[in-house]
A = this chain, B = another copy of it.
Amino acid sequence: MLRVAFLGRSGHAYVALRSMAETEDAELVAYATIPPEEPPDYFDAWKDQMGDAKGYDSWQELVDQEKPDLVQVSGAYYQNGVVAAYAAERGCHVLVEKPIATTLDQLATLKTAVAQSGVRLTAMLGTRLAPPYQAAKRAIDDGAIGEPLLVYAQKSYKFGTNRPDWYGVREKYGGSIPWITIHMIDMINFLLADPFASVVAMHKTFTVGGTHPECEDVMSMLFELRNGGAAAVNGDYLRPPGAGSHGDDRIRIVGAEGIVEVMAGRTTLIDKDGERELPLEETEDNIFLNFVNHLAHGAEHVIGPNDAFRSTEVALKARDAADTGQTVSLLDSPYGAA
């Protein structure tokens, strides 16, 4: 039985919480907020769902005293890499909100902590498990589209009205490329096995700037792929309140012999035989349970040991490219295939 602790309950911590009841392999033993962005009583809203787990005033004290097997880290984004490194250094496996770090220095420190203590780190990049993307992955791996040459991917999100103030502060928020479009960067990393060679990018704050001055709401990236192909990735925080869904995730991959596309939860393949929807397999798609199953039983985890590091590195460098207007190389990564 894995002893699990929650450090912070921001971001997608609820994804882990709601799945605790669905596994016999993990139990929630403790929790603590991550100050100063999270208030001391931040877990009160979840009191009914925390069972006998013990609340701590200090997340460091929790880690030191409880020595959990697995911690879920989800505070303000600039803190996650630091908190995760602290826990990893002390032998905890870690599930971290994405981005797992908001600076390249944080990322390197986290990598060292994980490597030296031999724990496993993963990230809230569970879109990989969604059936439409799994279907796309199978098609690509089966050679249905031949060599992938051209990609378009997008994330379109609603900003809503209750984002924390620190979303408006770059050094706390980290930027919308690492927060939003990282999902599609990671999806390209997943589907095309780290094809990234370089990136140019743009981002800018328009309508959300009134309340959150440094929160970009428009992002656009052009990646050169190692084989000379290209990937365009658009992201926005401008999805109108009236939209029927929170997001509009898409990816379209044109290969030498076919095109596969995920849009509106469906996966379509076009090849020499025509155009058709691919069957989706209803499988367990919770990233927390997938990770617990890996730790408890050695089942394959959908995010490889270096994947979260690499996807975060690419996102941070894309953000740098947007900040500077320069082309940034993505080759010779310290976070290459394990």
Contacts and interface: CB of A to CB of B under 8 A. Distances in A.
Interface of A: 147, 149-150, 152, 154, 156, 200-202, 204, 206-207, 217-222, 224, 228-234, 236, 238-244, 254-259, 270-275, 325, 327
10 contacts: A149-B236, A220-B222, A220-B232, A232-B233, A238-B259, A239-B259, A240-B270, A242-B270, A242-B272, A325-B327
Contact of A271 (B202, B222, B240, B325): B240
Copy count, this protein chain: 2
A152 B234 contact: yes
Given A150-B236, A202-B222, A275 B242 contact: yes
A255 B149 CA distance: 29
B229 A200 contact: no
Contacts of A254: 156, 218, 236, 238
Nearest to A263: B263
B236 A206 contact: no
B243 A230 contact: no
Contacts of A228: 204, 206, 218
Nearest to A201: B222
Contacts of A156: 254, 259
A256 B229 contact: no
A30 B275 CA distance: 44
A243 B206 CA distance: 39
A149 B220 CA distance: 11
Most buried by B among A156, A233, A244, A270: A270
B242 A273 contact: yes
A149 B232 contact: no
Q: Which of A154, A204, A217 gathers the greatest number of chain B CB atoms within 10 Å?
A: A204
A240 B152 CA distance: 17
B206 A256 contact: yes
Contacts of A219: 230
Nearest to A238: B254
Contacts of A243: 259, 270, 274-275
Contacts of A234: 150, 152, 230, 232
